[in-house]
Chains A and B, each alone.
Chain A
Amino acid sequence: MSGSLRGAASIVGIGLTDFGELPGRSKMEIMAEAVDLALKDAGLTLDQVDGVFGADFAEAMQGLYMAEYLGLHPKYIDGTNIGGSAFVNFLQSAASAIQAGLCEVALIAYGSNARSAGRGGRGPGPVMYETVYKPRQPINSYALAASRHMYEFGTTREQLAEVAVAARKWAQLNPKAVERDDITVDDVLNARPVVDPLTVRDCCLVTDAGSALIMVSTDRAKDFPKKPVHLLGVATETTHSQIACMADLTRTAVADAAPRAMEMAGITLDDVDVVELYDAFTINTVLFLEDMGFCPKGEGGNFVSGGHIAPGGGLPVNTNGGGLSCVHPGMYGMFLTIEAVEQLRGQAGHRQIDGAEIALCNGNGGLLSSQVTAVLGADGTL
């Protein structure tokens, strides 16, 4: 086992702000000043940074905030918060990413006004520029994206409802799914409005659930009791944190992440047997299928209609019933991955896609902010 990062990566720039008390400065401002200094020290410019690493005690998604604050769309992002050791841990993850060719210029940064925050320092960070209006998040951001998709492409409420109906039909084939009663397009349209244009049936469930998976090297994987499922490709793209900073509300970072993941896997869309994507809201499925390339931009509403992504349709999507009808315990990403594994092992029961060998998975994070596409393959696809 090689397992070595020795000689994989080196530090070429550093930046330090003044220390002590920095009254009237937000922690993001202090962070960005240090970034500017480090870039100058290295003779680099901000647009050359393609990997972002950061953590903060108060912000659950500091990596996203940092990237948005700096106007970056990183290909590699790590916001793992394991306490004060996080920034040494980032040396490991940054070197691993650089060694693997996933990013070239890694930015590790931190800013804090821990001393002066209570005395003229600014507290909550950039989120305050949206929370002051009391949007009902996260649904509000997705509702805004839906309004824009309807305006630009003529997508209808009925077409969004078709996503929820298809998910329910898959859920009815899955004994573990939480919501399995029949629903119709009219049921979705007539459900309680939450944030127009979306109703409660356009929204994922709120459930309890646990999930876990184990990965080992592919060399070792053949020695385990169950047939292995291989990671063939994976790619990340981040465009923003808050919805007002999403440059194009109808084009998500999937349009960048999915082609890179498929290139790494050496596959095309024609090879995909099943799609598992993060359907927190009905608009997600429309956006992600378009951005993966299954249909041209703007035609997603039509693509998901008429049962095309439901059981027996042309493209199996969210075969467990998805976040809309199967399970959604706040962070759904692992549940879609595990459904892909069940399909590729051939153990998905009544919802099994015959001969499924390639699954295209997409995790969505934040407010359409970060997208991670993974290609999983059944044993024999390597």
Chain B
Amino acid sequence: MTESGNELPAGAGPDAIYAAGLAAGEFKIQKCGGCGEHVFYPRQLCTHCGSADLGWVTASGNGTVHATSVVRQRPEAGDHYNIALVDLEEGPRMMSRVVDIPADQVKIGDPVTAFIGEIDGEQVILFRPAGDGS
């Protein structure tokens, strides 16, 4: 089913396929065979046209900050961190963090690039300013 599909049971659904891709270092999103639109988070049916014909493509990783916020913490709890909504160039919007710059310096409209990072040991899609370290 996928390169990393050997860990997936037969008939595994979109959530499991997405997680296996992430574990294999891939950021995959769905593309609808019915209407051509992209879908994220992973679904069983296309949220644009209702089709069950959803395939997988590798996301370009290019995005734009759509909204941004800073979660403030007491010093003993750790650093402040960014929570943003990022519009992927394929269309879907996702929550993430923009890192590698101060949390309060992230601006709406900033171009950003996805990479696979970790939060508390869990693999996640994060973003950094486009053109930085990629």
Binding site for B on A (CB under 8 A): 22-26, 28-33, 35-36, 39, 45-47, 69-71, 120, 122, 126, 129-130, 132-136, 140, 143-145, 147-148, 151, 192-197, 242-245, 249
Cβ-based interface call for B24 (8 A): no
Most buried by A among B15, B43, B71, B72: B15
Look across to chain B and name the residue whose beta carbon is closest to the beta carbon of A200: B72
Q: Are B94 and A244 in contact (CB under 8 A)?
A: yes
Known pairs A47-B50, A144-B83, A249-B85; list 10 more (Cβ under 8 Å).
Answer: A24-B8, A26-B14, A29-B44, A30-B13, A69-B43, A71-B50, A122-B15, A129-B95, A133-B97, A143-B83
Least CB distance, B134 to chain A, in whole angstroms: 21
Chain A contacts for B84, CB-based, 8 A = 144
Q: Are B83 and A249 in contact (CB under 8 A)?
A: no
For the complex of A and B, the 10 pairs showing the least CB-CB separation, nearest first, are A71-B47, A24-B12, A46-B50, A32-B44, A29-B13, A196-B70, A23-B9, A144-B67, A24-B9, A143-B69
Cβ-based interface call for B3 (8 A): no
Chain A contacts for B120, CB-based, 8 A = 134
Q: Are B47 and A136 in contact (CB under 8 A)?
A: no
Cβ-based interface call for B64 (8 A): no
Q: Are B45 and A193 in contact (CB under 8 A)?
A: no
- Cα of A69 to Cα of B66 in the assembled complex, Å: 21
- Cα of A140 to Cα of B73 in the assembled complex, Å: 13
Chain A contacts for B14, CB-based, 8 A = 26, 29
Least CB distance, A240 to chain B, in whole angstroms: 10
Q: Are A120 and B43 in contact (CB under 8 A)?
A: no
Most buried by B among A71, A122, A130, A133: A133
Given the interface pairs A24-B8, A24-B11, A24-B12, the reply to whether A196 lies near B44 with Cβ below 8 Å is no
- Cα of A243 to Cα of B93 in the assembled complex, Å: 10
Most buried by A among B13, B47, B84, B97: B13
Cβ-based interface call for B100 (8 A): no
Q: Are B71 and A140 in contact (CB under 8 A)?
A: yes
Residue among B45, B47, B67, B94 making CB contact with A36, cutoff 8 Å: B45
Chain A contacts for B9, CB-based, 8 A = 23-24, 120
Query: 29 interchain pairs (CB within 8 A)?
Result: A24-B8, A24-B9, A24-B11, A25-B12, A26-B15, A28-B44, A32-B45, A33-B44, A33-B52, A39-B50, A46-B50, A120-B9, A120-B16, A129-B94, A129-B95, A130-B95, A133-B95, A134-B71, A134-B81, A135-B71, A135-B83, A135-B95, A136-B83, A140-B71, A140-B83, A145-B67, A147-B69, A195-B69, A244-B93
- Encoded as 1 (CB less than 8 Å from any A CB) or 0, chain B from 1 to 32 comes to 00000001111111110010000000000000
Q: Are B71 and A70 in contact (CB under 8 A)?
A: no
Cβ-based interface call for B124 (8 A): yes
Chain B contacts for A193, CB-based, 8 A = 70, 72
Least CB distance, B38 to chain A, in whole angstroms: 13
Q: Are B66 and A148 in contact (CB under 8 A)?
A: yes
Given the interface pairs A24-B9, A133-B97, A244-B94, the reply to whether A144 lies near B124 with Cβ below 8 Å is no
Cβ-based interface call for B62 (8 A): no
Cβ-based interface call for B57 (8 A): no
- Cα of A47 to Cα of B72 in the assembled complex, Å: 41
Given the interface pairs A32-B44, A132-B122, the reply to whether A244 lies near B85 with Cβ below 8 Å is yes
Look across to chain A and name the residue whose beta carbon is closest to the beta carbon of B73: A136
Number of contacting residues on B, CB 8 A?
43
Look across to chain B and name the residue whose beta carbon is closest to the beta carbon of A134: B119
Chain A contacts for B44, CB-based, 8 A = 28-29, 31-33, 36, 69
Residue among B15, B46, B68 making CB contact with A29, cutoff 8 Å: B15
- Encoded as 1 (CB less than 8 Å from any A CB) or 0, chain B from 103 to 127 comes to 0100011000000000110101000
Least CB distance, A186 to chain B, in whole angstroms: 19
Q: Are A46 and B8 in contact (CB under 8 A)?
A: no
Chain A contacts for B97, CB-based, 8 A = 133
- Cα of A222 to Cα of B67 in the assembled complex, Å: 51
Chain A contacts for B8, CB-based, 8 A = 24
Q: Are B108 and A147 in contact (CB under 8 A)?
A: yes
Least CB distance, A124 to chain B, in whole angstroms: 10
Least CB distance, B60 to chain A, in whole angstroms: 18
Q: Are B12 and A144 in contact (CB under 8 A)?
A: no
Look across to chain A and name the residue whose beta carbon is closest to the beta carbon of B68: A147
Q: Are B124 and A133 in contact (CB under 8 A)?
A: yes
Q: Are B69 and A133 in contact (CB under 8 A)?
A: no
- Cα of A22 to Cα of B10 in the assembled complex, Å: 9
Q: Are A22 and B11 in contact (CB under 8 A)?
A: yes
Least CB distance, B34 to chain A, in whole angstroms: 11
Look across to chain B and name the residue whose beta carbon is closest to the beta carbon of A151: B108
Look across to chain B and name the residue whose beta carbon is closest to the beta carbon of A34: B44
Q: Are A243 and B85 in contact (CB under 8 A)?
A: yes
Q: Are A194 and B15 in contact (CB under 8 A)?
A: no
